[in-house]
Amino acid sequence: MTVGGTLAVFGGASQIGRALAETAPPPGWRLLLLSRAAADITDAGAVAAALAGSAARVVLNAAAFTAVDRAETEREAAFAVNCDGAALVAAAAAARGLPVIHISSDYVFAGTKRQPYVEADAAVPVSVYGASKLAGERAVLDANERAAVLRTAWLFGAHNANFARSILRLASQRDEIGVVDDQIGCPTAAGDLAAAVWALAPRLATAEDADLFGVFHCCGDDVVSRHQFAAAVLAEAAALGVDVARLKAIPTSAYPLPAARPAYSALSCARLRTVHGIGPLPWRRSLAACVARLLGEP
């Protein structure tokens, strides 16, 4: 029998929150998007009150401090949201007997491997942002025994700031763009991640088996460099008749930023496929629609 209910989402204005609003839910399911104004996850009372009036069956925490470079000088703020706030959401869900899905990041890894990371690999962040996300994972798992942590990567979509949007903006302003070719990872369409969350939520709503919870990788299915990702974005723009900038491959050392990035952060999604039947997400199939929407903006 299909189990219906409400998916309550903290971080309702995030990329994943906005993508969930555009993705058809499973039969019998509804979506409750909770913005920061409605429920700041660093406020325990606000979190508890939001869930008390929600009729939620599953809770999703998509709220995050995502300013990777700012986190280097705003460590306290990053940890307040990505660790302490995440723990408050997980604990509030646990107090109501609810499972929680928590969105995490490939930045928990050092980037020293040259094959996709699996969940059992040692997580050694190289930035404050990555450290705050790893601390958040651990706090969530400690606070709620029915927690599923989804590590994703290189999220892009039609909403909010993301790599695809930035490349299209730069391409409209410059004749040539330099993009690093020595950072390797897995682009992930926000809409595809939303579909994966909708597939997972009904399974977790009634699940008690510990093997159905824990850490899972959920990202795009094709490993590329940042340069290759940018080339794919511009190829879609060119297919729509847009004049695009030339791409120049540069090393990370030529584009220094306050926060270090993992050189290699591709993720293996094999565990998620085995346990929940959700495979790697086909980001190239989703990119064309994303670029068309971004170019269609006024």
The Cα–Cα gap between 163 and 225 comes to 12
The Cα–Cα gap between 32 and 190 comes to 18
Beta-carbon count within 10 A of 135 CB:
19
Band of residue 1 on the pLDDT scale cut at 50, 70, 90:
very low
State the catalytic residues. Answer: 129
- Residue 2, pLDDT above cutoff 60: no
* Whether domain 5-157+186-223+264-284 has CATH 3.40.1350.10: no
Give tens-digit pLDDT for 74-100: 999 999 999 999 999 999 999 999 999
- Closest by CA to 192, choosing from 281, 278, 102, 277, is 281
The Cα–Cα gap between 128 and 138 comes to 15
Provide the Cα torsion 254, 260, 261, 262; round to 10°: 110
Place of tokens 């998916």: 7
* % of the chain at pLDDT higher than 70: 98
- State the pairing for strand pair 29-34/100-105: unpaired
Give tens-digit pLDDT for 182-214: 999 999 999 999 999 999 999 999 998 999 999
pLDDT at 216: 98
pLDDT at 298: 52
Mean pLDDT for 28-48 is 95
- Residue 263, pLDDT above cutoff 50: yes
Mean pLDDT of the chain: 96
**287 three-state secondary structure:** helix
* % of the chain at pLDDT higher than 90: 95
For the chain, where are the E strands, in sequence order?
Answer: 5-10, 29-34, 56-61, 100-105, 147-152, 155-156, 176-180, 184-185, 188-189, 214-217, 224-225, 246-250
CA atoms within 13 A on the CB side of 255: 15
- For the packed helices 163-173 and 283-295, what is the interaxial angle rounded to 10 degrees? 50
SS3 content of the chain, % helix, strand, coil (to 5): 40, 20, 40
Give tens-digit pLDDT for 122-181: 999 999 999 999 999 999 999 999 999 999 999 999 999 999 999 999 999 999 999 999
